[in-house]
Copies of this chain bind each other. A is one copy, B any other.
């Protein structure tokens, strides 16, 4: 615990030191990382091979999923993609020190609001070793310190990647502890108590894991425990759009958080829409679970599906399974989404603009989608480049989070001997509070 505290303290020291180092050095370190990923490809693959060998028996025993094993496996082309990713982060404009606003308080007394890094960020991620590179490069670019905890199964891969990153920092005279690795679950537990040193936790992983983190720390958490996304097909939907959007939202990649888990269908069009939609799903191997009315509508067309249980309405399948419910009107759909959803991404399919606007205003989710698939809701598609995570909370950042979510701001007040006493009492000076178009 004391060793860990020292380690985390030195992340904080590294963060504070970095504030006085030119942005160019951070860029140079990123270039170096990209180059070294390519130069050290054989060594990275060798380390990764060790991880794969150690993990294979666990896959055979069924303790680790095939999907996880796939994400763990690196290849020459995956490493090339990682280097390209670092390069593209390097090419972003320096996000630190940008002026968000400037206000004249009085003659010669100016208040700037400027972007600054957050501080020490702890991210915990699963088996994908490329996540280490992605997160490190975002943090270096934004002058944050980062503490990384990768999956145990990726331990050798993560170690060599972290060494490449830290060597690049050292060679560019940046504090090497700007990026640090921790390796045990015990460390994660202990880190959750260090709210005096860590400013933000970004957990990526299973629902249970993210919920555990959220419940067991006072440190702000950026992330989402679950992604229970809905599409609501309204009475005035263009059914062709509805077929293809609903198909895409479930089938195109069901294992991810922005895939639809529950389909809501307006009763006015349910008999017309459901049978054809159900056939498309069944042809694609989707298991359907409906409420009583959905089951009945489909039965009339000789389609037998399972009845959904109460748990189905708040469950994230991450799989080719879909629950379907008929709702009486849009109000019922909105109430259902606000009650059973996870504030991730929810959509409406309608040609009625007024209805769409009401839905958008009243659904309390971080992303609301009109006539498009929920699957668009991620950092890359939202134009953020690399993604830190997707936030379903209300505070700081919502929805797909990019490098902008690793920044906060600071107020800088520049005066010329100004004192508050002159602004009170009988001859009080008045504040001008005049917006200025001025940059820091």
Chain A residues close to B by CB (< 8 Å): 16, 19-20, 97, 103, 105, 109, 111, 118-119, 195, 199-200, 214-215, 217-218, 220, 238, 240-241, 244-245, 247-249, 252-253, 338, 356, 358, 360-362, 364-373, 375-377, 381-383, 393-396, 398-400, 408-421, 423-424, 431, 433
- Residues in B whose Cβ lies below 8 Å from that of A215: 218
29 contacting pairs across A/B (C-beta < 8 A): A16-B338, A103-B383, A105-B376, A109-B372, A111-B383, A199-B394, A200-B394, A215-B218, A244-B419, A245-B418, A248-B421, A249-B419, A252-B419, A252-B421, A252-B424, A367-B411, A369-B412, A369-B413, A369-B415, A370-B414, A371-B418, A372-B416, A372-B418, A373-B420, A376-B413, A383-B433, A395-B396, A398-B410, A399-B411
Contact call A420/B381, Cβ cutoff below 8 A: yes
Measured CB to CB, the closest approach of chain B to A400, in angstroms, equals 8
- Residues in B whose Cβ lies below 8 Å from that of A396: 220, 395-396
Given contacts A252-B419, A398-B409, list 4 more A-B pairs with CB under 8 A. Answer: A105-B381, A195-B214, A372-B414, A376-B418
A413 touches which of B119, B220, B368, B417 (Cβ 8 Å): B368
- Residues in B whose Cβ lies below 8 Å from that of A214: 195, 218
- Residues in B whose Cβ lies below 8 Å from that of A16: 338, 362, 364
A417 touches which of B217, B244, B411 (Cβ 8 Å): B244
A393 touches which of B220, B244, B366, B414 (Cβ 8 Å): B220
Query: Which residue of B is nearest A385, CB measured?
Result: B433
Contact call A411/B394, Cβ cutoff below 8 A: no
Interchain CA distance A240-B418 in the complex, whole Å: 11
Measured CB to CB, the closest approach of chain B to A334, in angstroms, equals 8
- Residues in B whose Cβ lies below 8 Å from that of A381: 105, 420, 423, 431
Across the A-B interface, the 3 shortest Cβ-Cβ residue pairs: A372-B415, A248-B419, A241-B417
Contact call A372/B408, Cβ cutoff below 8 A: no
